[in-house]
Structure 1
Amino acid sequence: MSAYTDLMRTPGVARIIAAQLLARFPNGMLSLALLTHIERVHHTYGAAGLVLAGASIGQAIAGPLTSRLMGRVGMRIVLAITTLVCSAGIVLVALVVMPIPVTIAVAAVAGLATPPVVPAVRTIYPKLVNSRLLAPLYSLDASAQELIWIAGPVVITFVATQISTTIGLLFCAAIMLGGGAWFILLPELGRVRIPPSKRRIGATLKRPTVLLATMVGFLLVGACAAIEAGTVANFAGHGPEAGIVLGIWSLASLVGGFAFGSRPIGPWALGTRMLVVFAGIALASIWVSNVWWLTAMLVVSGLGIAPALAVTSTIVSTSVKFSDTAEAFGWVGTGQLIGAALGSAIAGFLIDQHGPTGAFWVAGAFALVGALVPLLGRRWHPDLRGREISPMPDTEPVPTQPS
């Protein structure tokens, strides 16, 4: 735990973690808010899944584009414009009842304008701490973000079921605006400038490690999105139970992140963590209707989530040049968002046909493949035991004068 103590003593670290968590807090609420609102308005989880898919596909397309744009025009400008547009889209869905195709289009535009907070902050991290503290910082970030998934589902489920789904969406927009403003005004954003990448967009995906992290993120978040949809459907109309179960699940992930965050990262690290996630989901699907069994098995799966996300961040950071870091994390985010889109959409249709258990079948399939990919592709997984953990330096030709 000494590494975490050193991190908290490093100037700027606690402040930037807190600000980016608040800016990203709507991520823990928006899916459930949209799911409950669209289902209430149109009375079908299939339609709700399509709206979520539209938003996630928009986010997926925007991920590498807005991340790369930050190196061209600056982080603050990109973050400010996207925050305003995205929150406006959420407000429109909340206040105007539209046909499903139009709602999907508005959700997709909001998704396209999702503020690239994660690529921004994970690009800043290597400039805040030395290489010894970078891996614990990524682990702390992955663990701390679980606070989003602990408080977010509980808060939004209570607001949506006990007050109004419209108020729930407006609450998401308000938090996005407030948290985004705090993050944008941080002095660290003014001190760090992302160099414009000289490579064509998409070139970072040619690095096997970035591709591996993107694929695993796609499968892991797809599993999580399916679990969210299945849990909400399982307790629909019965109060805040869904939010509480999802909050406990995220708390388990938080515990797992702190417990395993400082462990050395070897070539089997990602695969073994994903096996833990799959085992818990597979066991949970046996008896979804029992809240105690479901919660206990989700705790098992949760112990592997934050550790797996921390490993993906660390191996990406060590595999690309600093100027390509934002785009690389943008692609990883894109993979995760496409996973969320497919996970939500497929789970929504299976819930309509087979009930909540169908969503857990989807989650189990995603998690199983998510474990097999890094195990079979372990030669792409760097062995970071005993190595310095930091982005590769950008190099430039040095002009020389003839003697």
Structure 2
Amino acid sequence: MSSYADLLKTPGVARIIAAQLTARFPNGMLSLAYLLHVERATGSYGAAGLVLAATSVGQAIAGPLTSRWMGRWGMRPVLSLTLVVCVLSMAGIAFLPLEVWGYMAIGFVGGLATPPVQPAVRTIYPKMVTSRQLTPLFSLDASAQEIIWVAAPVVTTFIATQISTVLAIVVAMVFMVGGGAWFIASPEVGRVRIPRSKRAFGVVLRRPPVLLSTVVGFLLIGACAAVEAAVVATFGHGGPESGIVLAIFAIGSLAGGLALGHIPVGPWAMTRRMLIVFIGMAGVVFWLDFWWLSVWLLIAGIGIAPALAVMFAIVSSSVKFSDTAEAYGWVGTGQLIGAALGSAVAGFLIDGYGATGGYLTAAAIALLGVIVSAVFKRAHPDLRGRDASPIPDTEPVPVQPS
């Protein structure tokens, strides 16, 4: 823990972690808030699912696109514009009486305008800490984001069911405006200038570590989404058990990230971490008791944040600084698509075979993640004793005054 204490004492690190977590807090609120609000407005969960799908498609398209724009127009202009459009779209869904296609259109625009806070902050990190601190910082970041997935659904469910679905969306808007403004105002956002990339859009995916991280991230988050659907199917919506089990799952990830974040990243690092996830998810399928599920999902969670941290580190070390934001955008898009497909496949198998079908889906996807990371180990750089910072661009990078 001393390494994390040293990190948090580094000027600006604690502040920017807190700001970006606040700005991203709505990411854990909106899916559930939109689901409950649109279902209440239309009387159909199918319609609500279409709105969520449209929003997710917009987010998937936006990931690498808006991230690349930050190298062309600067972080603050892109973050500010997307923040305004995204908040307006949230207000439209909350307050306008619309048909399903109207909700879908606004959700798609809002997804396209999702502020690229995550690619921005992970591009900034290498400029804030020493090379020795960078991998632990990625691990701390991946662990801290679990706070979003533990707290946000609880807050959203309470407000939407006990008070109002409109208020649930408004609270998400408040977090987005407050956190987004805090992050945009951070001196580091003004100080760090991403050089304009000379490569065509999408070329960064030719870098093996970027492609490996995108594919394995797709599989990791797909497995997690399948588990979430299966847990809800196991306990239903009437009691607290689903929320408690999923919170334990996220706490395992938080603990794993903090415990394993200081370990040097060798060529088998991703495979080992995905293996922990697979073992935990495979253990679940034998017995759907509350305590059994809690223990095995705690084990599965231990591998999640460390696996994400490895992805961030190998991407950072393998691309030029001008390409880092776009690279992280592609990794994020892979995770979004994985979440959508993991939920969809698990849903079909849950309909056919009950909750066990969802857990089998999760275990199978996680096993595929282990296999892919092992087979393509040569795409995984060995960062033991190496700097995980991005490759410098050859031309001088202008620095903007904060």
TM-score calculated relative to the size of structure 1: 0.92
In the TM superposition, residue 152 of structure 1 has moved relative to its aligned partner by: 1.6
Superposition pairs of residues 85-164 of structure 1, within 5 angstroms: 85-96=85-96, 98-164=98-164
Where 1:286 maps in the other structure, the secondary structure is coil
Q: Which residue of 2 aligns with 1:261?
A: 261
Q: CA deviation at 1:87?
A: 2.3
Identity level (%): 64
1:322: which partner in 2? 321
> 1:371 offset after TM fit, Å?
1.6
CA distance in 2, matches of 1:226, 1:46: 18
C-alpha separation between the residues in 1 aligned to 2:355 and 2:55?
22
Aligned runs of 1:140-219 on 2, under 5 Å?
140-219=140-219
CA separation of 1:366 and 1:166: change in aligned 2, threshold 3 A = farther
Is the Cα–Cα contact under 8 Å of residues 226 and 344 in structure 1 kept in the other structure? yes
Q: CA deviation at 1:384?
A: 0.9
Between the aligned partners of 2:19 and 2:308, the Cα distance in structure 1 is: 20
Q: Which amino acid aligns with 1:35?
A: L
**Secondary structure in 2 matching 1:231:** helix
Higher mean alpha-carbon deviation, 228-237 vs 173-182, is at: 228-237
Residue 349 (structure 1) shift: 4.3
AA aligned opposite 1:137: L
Alpha carbons of 1:231 and 1:164: their partners in 2 closer, same or farther (altered >3 Å)? farther
Backbone CA RMSD of aligned residues: 2.1
Farther-moved stretch of structure 1 (92-101 vs 52-61): 92-101
Cα distance in 1 for residues equivalent to 2:44 and 2:369: 29
Alpha-carbon separation, structure 1, partners of 2:182 and 2:78: 15
The number of residue pairs the alignment matches comes to 396
Q: 1:97 to 1:285 in 2, by over 3 A?
A: farther
Deviation, 1:364, is: 2.5
The answer (yes or no) to whether the contact 1:153–1:247 under 8 Å persists in 2 is: no
With over 3 angstroms needed to count, the CA separation of the structure-2 counterparts of 1:80 and 1:239, relative to structure 1, is farther
Change (3 A) 1:145 1:301: same
- 1:142 touches 1:306 (CA, 8 Å); kept in 2? yes
Q: Which residue of 2 aligns with 1:401?
A: none
Amino acid at match of 1:249: F
Structure 1 position 66 matched with structure 2 position 66: yes
Matched residue, 2:399? none
Counterpart-to-counterpart distance in 2, 1:38 and 1:345: 19
Question: Match for residue 21 of structure 1?
Answer: 21
Give the match's secondary structure for 2:384. Answer: coil
Find the aligned partners of 1:304 and 1:107 in 2 and give their Cα distance. Answer: 32
User: Structure 2 stretches of 5 or more lacking a match?
Assistant: 397-402
SS of alignment partner, residue 385 of structure 1: coil
- Pair 353,316 (structure 1): closer, same or farther in 2 beyond 3 Å: same
Matches of 1:278 and 1:349, distance apart in 2? 21
Which ranges of structure 1 fall in alignment gaps of 5 or more residues? 398-403
Going from structure 1 to structure 2, the CA distance change for 1:273 and 1:139 (only over 3 Å counts) comes to same
> CA–CA distance in 2 between the matches of 1:45 and 1:235?
19
